[in-house]
A and B are shown apart, each in its own frame.
Chain A
Amino acid sequence: MKKNDLKSMGKSFTKYILIIGALLILLDFTFHRHEYFSFAEIYGFPAFFGFISFVFIVLLGKWLRKFLMRKEDYYDQ
């Protein structure tokens, strides 16, 4: 097996995901997306919400390490 398998896989995965993402946003302009709450009907709202939520979760989780992370043998001490 080649060594850069994972890298090339990652690259093509990124490419396809970006294409799908772009298509989804374009699709949003072709029809009126009905939602339960009117502000969620703004173009690309779920996309924006998903992106921001994900970044928020990861960065806040990372920050919480300061308070919640201990050594692996913490409970054995």
Chain B
Amino acid sequence: MISNIIPGLIMILTSFLLPTIPQYFRHPAMLLSVGLSALSLFNGYGTFLEWDVLGLNLILYQSDSLTFPFSIIFHIAAVLVIIFSWHSKNLMEHMATLAYAGSAIGALHAGDFFSLFIWWEATALTSVFIVFAGNTKAARDAAMRYLIIQVSSGVLLLIGACLLLYQTGNHNLTVLDLTTDFGIFIFIAFGIKAAFPFLNGWLQDSYPESSVTGTVALSAFTTKLAIYALARTFPGTDSLIWIGAIMTAFPVFFAVIENDLRRVLSFSLNNQLGFMVVGIGIGTELSLNGTVAHAFVHIIYKALLFMSMGAVLYRAGTTKASELGGLYKYMPFTTIFCIIGAMSISAFPLFSGFVAKSLIMSSLGGMGMVLIYFVLFFASAGVLEHSGIKIPYFAFFAHERKSKVKEAPINMLIAMGIAAVLCIGIGVFPKYLYQILPYTVEYQPYTIDHVISQLQLLVFAIIAFLFLVKFKLYPSEIRSTVLNSDWFYRKMLPGIGKPLFKKIGLLTELIYENLRFFFRLILNKSQKFSNSSYIKVTTPSFAATILISILFIMLLIVLI
């Protein structure tokens, strides 16, 4: 019986029941629903639930070797978020978070494009409430922009799905290419959620505006769902290699100068997605394994980093680098957890990032793609810069802090602790991660060549940092806004649109003005005419004159 229930659905149903559950039991109930949903992981592979509706056969629940690892990590992420938000009493955010995680898990198990579309929009509609729950004017504005972009992605997906059905008679999730119009629509729909270059503005716009706990939830699901969808539909699409390579490289420059550390992490998220997209573009078993492995470990260490910055925001009231520093004395555990997250994302040997990123780098190297290989190698130095050094350095060190703050609440420390243990555990015992990957590939990440090469890169990048700080070349933190691709619709379009509409407004006003003048003239004339002495005898009133003139005009129009 339970094997036919769509994974994640029980979490959505529980989220609707949350208001009826006393505050004290809400988090246990949320955890229980995730646990029940996770039972689906034991179902094995196959199609478990289909629904014939309006002549369409919707595959609502299927699972295979690609959905499996994503489903595991989405459940783990949901657990981490729930524990991290245990102290919070924000009901709306809890409901949204649980429903959002449930929708993302449901989306993984959709077997056709229409079912995927439903879940795709469900993740948008649930997650927007998480941004809303940031509860500032900036958060509410960002939420509206976020909603428009996310729903647009869904609409493009629906158009693609309809075209696919119309042209091929098939709507199941299959491998597509970019030579078809439906392929292009679906590609862009996925590309928006995967934050492709120039479609990425929503990510850095909305995530940092969410609450302490909200950003952690947001960081896990939407973008990785898009990675899953791309891996399922567009493996081996060459253009993804270039798109991915650009995605790894360009956010690193933005991250260097961004002041808000949660926004730095959002740029970093974008850069990490680039590595996964490159893996999909290569499309070999090794590289697709690399993409899945990277998504898996990335969700954990990115959540860990966002949690540590959430804890900083909760205790110190800001994540602006220009206002922080010296927190290591007051938040030692958070500092250690943050450094573990930073070392994982930077791919230090024995940490989870290393064993995942190696798969993608090896597949690039194996295929002789020298340029892309070194773009990614370069981007690895960039990851170290913004996530490995900048985040922990400016939050916890940089300079002494004058005012005291408390260590993070115990529930936050537990959530960060679990994530940290997973980061190191996967890094030390990668075979357990490799076992759940879609393809069986023998791979050994810990070769002496590879370890030394990676350590040289990282250690000398750190030395470069120390050198730049020593000679005062490292840019100081300044309170500022860094322009990003959301500038196009936040400044440029209103910049063109507002004066344009103003001019159109002026023009219509001018036309109205003239029309008004013209009618007044007619009125005056007819009034004068009806009042004149010789017509008074035969014409009863001014109204009749008006009526007659209207009839006359109508007759004229008809005749013409």
Interface set of A (CB-CB < 8 Å, partner B) = 1, 3, 5-6, 9-10, 14, 17-18, 20-21, 24-25, 27-28, 31, 33-37, 40, 44-55, 57-62, 64-65, 67-75
Q: A17-B463, A61-B256, A62-B475 are in contact. Are A71 and B481 (CB under 8 A)?
A: yes
Give the most central of A34, A50, A70: most B CB within 10 Å: A50
1/0 per residue, CB under 8 A from A, across B249-282: the answer is 0001111110000000000000000000000000
Interface assignment of B478: CB less than 8 Å from any CB of chain A: yes
C-alpha gap A31/B490 in the complex (Å) = 55
User: Is A58 in contact with B385, judged by CB distance below 8 angstroms?
Assistant: yes
C-alpha gap A31/B447 in the complex (Å) = 13
Smallest CB gap from A37: residue in B: B370
1/0 per residue, CB under 8 A from A, across B387-404: the answer is 000000000011110000
Could you say which residues of chain A place their CB within 8 Å of the CB of B453? 33, 35, 40, 46
Pick from B255, B449, B467: contact of A34, CB below 8 A: B449
Segment at the A interface, from B159-167, B373-381, B517-525: B373-381
1/0 per residue, CB under 8 A from A, across B163-198: the answer is 000000000000000000000000000000000000
Interface set of B (CB-CB < 8 Å, partner A) = 252-257, 326, 329, 362, 364-366, 368, 370, 373-374, 377-378, 381-382, 384-385, 397-400, 447-449, 452-468, 473-475, 478-483, 490-491
C-alpha gap A51/B465 in the complex (Å) = 8
Q: A44-B456, A70-B483, A72-B479 are in contact. Are A54 and B464 (CB under 8 A)?
A: yes
Pick from B463, B473, B480, B481: contact of A58, CB below 8 A: B473
Give the most central of B384, B448, B454, B462: most A CB within 10 Å: B462
Q: A33-B452, A57-B256, A64-B257 are in contact. Are A51 and B461 (CB under 8 A)?
A: yes
Interface contacts (Cβ under 8 Å), in number, total 155
Smallest CB gap from B401: residue in A: A6
User: Is B466 in contact with A50, judged by CB distance below 8 angstroms?
Assistant: no
C-alpha gap A50/B461 in the complex (Å) = 5
User: Smallest distance from the beta carbon of A10 to chain B beta carbons, Å?
Assistant: 8
Could you say which residues of chain B place their CB within 8 Å of the CB of A5? 329, 400
User: Is B481 in contact with A51, judged by CB distance below 8 angstroms?
Assistant: no
Pick from A57, A62, A74: contact of B381, CB below 8 A: A57
User: Is A6 in contact with B481, judged by CB distance below 8 angstroms?
Assistant: no
Interface of chain B, helix or strand or loop or mixed?
Answer: helix
Could you say which residues of chain B place their CB within 8 Å of the CB of A51? 460-461, 463-464
Could you say which residues of chain A place their CB within 8 Å of the CB of B370? 37
C-alpha gap A54/B346 in the complex (Å) = 13
C-alpha gap A53/B365 in the complex (Å) = 19
C-alpha gap A71/B462 in the complex (Å) = 30
Interface of chain A, helix or strand or loop or mixed?
Answer: helix
Give the most central of B447, B461, B467: most A CB within 10 Å: B461
User: Smallest distance from the beta carbon of B401 to chain A beta carbons, Å?
Assistant: 10
Could you say which residues of chain A place their CB within 8 Å of the CB of B456? 24-25, 28, 44-47, 50
User: Is A46 in contact with B257, judged by CB distance below 8 angstroms?
Assistant: no
Q: A44-B456, A57-B252 are in contact. Are A33 and B449 (CB under 8 A)?
A: yes
User: Is B257 in contact with A54, judged by CB distance below 8 angstroms?
Assistant: no
**Chain A to chain B contacts (Cβ below 8 Å), 18 pairs:** A5-B400, A27-B452, A33-B449, A36-B368, A46-B453, A49-B378, A50-B458, A50-B464, A54-B384, A54-B385, A57-B253, A57-B378, A58-B475, A61-B252, A64-B253, A68-B254, A70-B480, A73-B481
User: Is A59 in contact with B473, judged by CB distance below 8 angstroms?
Assistant: yes
Q: A36-B365, A65-B257 are in contact. Are A53 and B381 (CB under 8 A)?
A: yes
Could you say which residues of chain A place their CB within 8 Å of the CB of B365? 35-37
User: Smallest distance from the beta carbon of A56 to chain B beta carbons, Å?
Assistant: 8
Leading 8 A-B pairs by shortest Cβ distance: A61-B256, A36-B365, A54-B464, A50-B457, A53-B381, A46-B456, A47-B456, A47-B460
Smallest CB gap from B464: residue in A: A54
User: Is A58 in contact with B474, judged by CB distance below 8 angstroms?
Assistant: yes
Give the most central of B255, B479, B482: most A CB within 10 Å: B482
